[in-house]
Amino acid sequence: MKHVFYLIFIAVFITSCSSVYKVEDVNNEFNIVEFRNSYTLRSDKTDSIFDVFKDDELKQLVILGLKQNSDIFIYDSRIKIAESQIKLATSKQMPNVNGNVSYSYNGDSIINTNLMASWELDIFGKYALDKKSYIENYNIAKKNLDFFKISLISDISLAYFNLKYLQSNIILTKERIKNYYEIVRIMDIMYKNGFIAFSDFLENKVFLQQEEQSLNTLQNDYEAKKNELRVLINDSKYEFNSNEYHFYTPKFHINLDSSAEVILNRPDIQAQISNLNSAIYRLNSSKADLYPSISLSASLGKAFLSPAEFAYQILSSLTLPLFSRFEIYENIKINEYTKLEAYYTLQKALNTALSEIENAIYSLESNKNTLQTSIDMLNQNEETLYLLKKSNELGLVDSVEYLQALNSNLLMLKNNNTSYFNTISATIYLYRSIGGNMNDLKDFI
């Protein structure tokens, strides 16, 4: 009869417990839709960031960041904490053994020794559920570290190309300033000789002033971006390559066959799934408090230098909470709401991930089209500029007109750099939004 009593309790407990989510369960539960935006560079595998951007300095910066960034050590400490919490949870499933030795003197010297052991049988799996919850927390810590590393690679790459973009525009702006000085010099002579109006002369002086202000802004941004990169790699003395940089169109091949697979492979999404499962385990553990617990205890004692024999005792007890159930029910309610919060947090994360990827695909395809248009226009302008240069050399076009055309071409080069940078930024954003390529972490850590 006693065994039937326990079986009924266990059956009621099992039916009251919530089930945890596997990856396929998440897809079925939230019905992740397929990508709507088309992408031209689909492939059966996703490229490494180092295949997309074959740049030695960028690779060096990423390696330094993954090894030295301060936040890496913070996330790693959280993993170590989670490991210790699992060990503590495991210890609660083990018997508790204590021993003591005492000495007394009352005419005779007597040494008393006692060995005591106690063990709470985890019939309803409370401690096992607690341990599983901590294992999920450990998975959360690991996945958070992985996602931070992918984000760090993206941040370093974006800051690096922003630095090169500013560096290139500084060079072009200096060329434009040099040309404006020459234009102003020539027009000053023309104005003094009455060939042009003062307004024409003044207009070009204003252009020169604006360009010098633009150069000052670019140089300030350049220094700020260098310092930002130094923080990311945790190296305040790093010196960057100042050679002229030539941009190119990145080609990022990715596997987008299944939106569910792409999204559910993101480390941050996997962390949210583990967060939900951890909440479910805690909820089930709190429900186990409603049911009886069985404890076994035993003691063994011996008084040395005394004729007494060994003394031993074995006890068992059954405990059922009666008057403290209000606290248990409130704890269950708290864990119910915690589970609900984790559920909707996961739902929001899935929707956010889908929108991030859709936005990144659209942005990249749009910027690639804009870049191609910019390249075509620049090529046409280069041909016109070449003819204008020849005309200037033959005296058919004056120097001011040629220098103004040259500055217009330099401005087109700056705009072209902007198109390149926007395309590169969109590529990096897409890399991050799909959760990166985990091989980029395995190769260097």
Tell me the pLDDT band of 150, cut-offs 50, 70 and 90: very high
* Phi, psi at 304, each rounded to 5°: -75, 160
Contact 423, 250 (CB under 8 A): yes
| Rounded CA separation 249/158 (Å) | 15
Cα–Cα distance measured from residue 353 to residue 361, given in angstroms and rounded to the nearest whole number: 12
Work out the pLDDT band at 44, boundaries 50, 70, 90.
confident
| Averaged pLDDT, 313-330 | 66
Q: Between 408 and 118, whose confidence is greater?
A: 408
d(CA 311, CA 27): 61
Beta bridge partner(s), residue 299: 116, 313
Please determine, for residue 109, whether its predicted confidence score (pLDDT) is greater than 60: no
CATH classification of 18-95+124-291+326-442, choosing from 1.20.1600.10, 1.10.1060.10, 1.10.150.120, 1.10.10.10?
A: 1.20.1600.10
Q: Is the model's pLDDT at 445 over the cut of 80? A: no
Mean pLDDT of 418-431: 96
Per-residue pLDDT for 252 more than 70? yes
Name the CA radius of gyration of the chain, rounded. 36
Residue 13 is predicted with a pLDDT of 47
pLDDT tier for residue 265 given thresholds of 50, 70 and 90: very high
Separation CA 150–CA 436 (nearest Å)? 6
Residue 310: its pLDDT value, please? 52
Whether pLDDT at 301 is above 70: no
Distance CA(153)–CA(75), nearest Å, equals 16
Q: Residues 407, 410, 414, 416: what is their CA dihedral angle, to the nearest 10 degrees? A: 130
Provide mean pLDDT across the span 280-292: 88
- pLDDT value, residue 299: 63
User: Quick one: pLDDT at residue 42?
Assistant: 81
pLDDT at 368 over 50: yes
Residue ranges per domain, the chain?
Answer: 18-95+124-291+326-442
pLDDT classification of 178: cutoffs 50, 70, 90: very high
| Residue 208 one-letter amino acid | L
Span 50-60, mean pLDDT?
A: 93
65, 232 Cβ separation under 8 angstroms? yes
What residues are paired with 118 via a beta bridge?
96, 297
Q: How confident is the model at residue 396, as a pLDDT?
A: 79
State the pLDDT at residue 99: 55
The helix or strand, by DSSP H or E, that contains position 326, with its residue range, turns out to be helix 325-393
Dump pLDDT digits (tens) for 192-231.
887 777 877 788 899 999 999 999 999 999 999 999 999 9
Cα distances from 108 to residues 11, 88, 105, 306, 307, in angstroms, run 58, 44, 6, 9, 12
Please enumerate in sequence order all residues whose Cβ is within 8 A of that of 320, keeping only pairs 6 or more positions apart, or say none: 291, 292, 293
Joined together, the tokens standing for residue 280 give 């479910």
pLDDT band at 282 (very low <50, low <70, confident <90, very high): very high
pTM of the entire predicted model: 0.86
